[in-house]
Structure 1
Amino acid sequence: MADWGPVVVATVLFVLLTPGLLFQLPAQGRIVAFGSMHTGGLAILVHAVIYFALITIFLIAIGVHIYAG
């Protein structure tokens, strides 16, 4: 059986944490902007750190597994 947990978690987090799609932290001139569709280097770095922290928590600490087959 294939374990699809890491693939699903990584894909969902990547889509949700794309800077500017749902929110951008930090925004240009503000702390947070929602749905701005603009991004900058610092926002990419912040979102990458948040992505790494969440994927580590979900895959290593919690151990999300989805078996198909």
Structure 2
Amino acid sequence: MQDWAAPILASALFAFLAPGLVFQMPGNESPLGFMNMKTSLISMFLHTVLYGLFLILLLVILDIHLYA
């Protein structure tokens, strides 16, 4: 049996946390922008940090597994 939690969670978080796709922190005109499809270096850095923290939370701290 293989554990599929890591690739599924990583792919879902990567898609959801892409800057400008669903939300952007910090936004261009406001602290939080929604669906503007624009990005900046600061926004990419912040989303990268959030991506890493969420992966650590879900895979290391909560120890989520999905066997198939």
Unaligned runs of 5+ in 2: none
CA distance in 1, matches of 2:40, 2:32: 13
Using the size of structure 1 for normalisation, the TM-score is 0.96
Paired-residue identity, % = 34
Unaligned runs of 5+ in 1: none
Aligned to 2:23: 23
**Deviation for aligned residue 1:28:** 1.1
Matches within 5 A, 1:8-19: 8-19=8-19
- Report the number of matched residues: 68
Q: Let me know the Cα RMSD of the aligned residues.
A: 0.5
Aligned to 1:32: 32
CA distance in 2, matches of 1:64, 1:38: 33
Using the size of structure 2 for normalisation, the TM-score is 0.97
CA distance in 1, matches of 2:36, 2:29: 12
Would you identify which runs of 4 or more consecutive aligned residues in structure 1 move more than 4 Å?
Answer: none
CA distance in 1, matches of 2:25, 2:67: 34
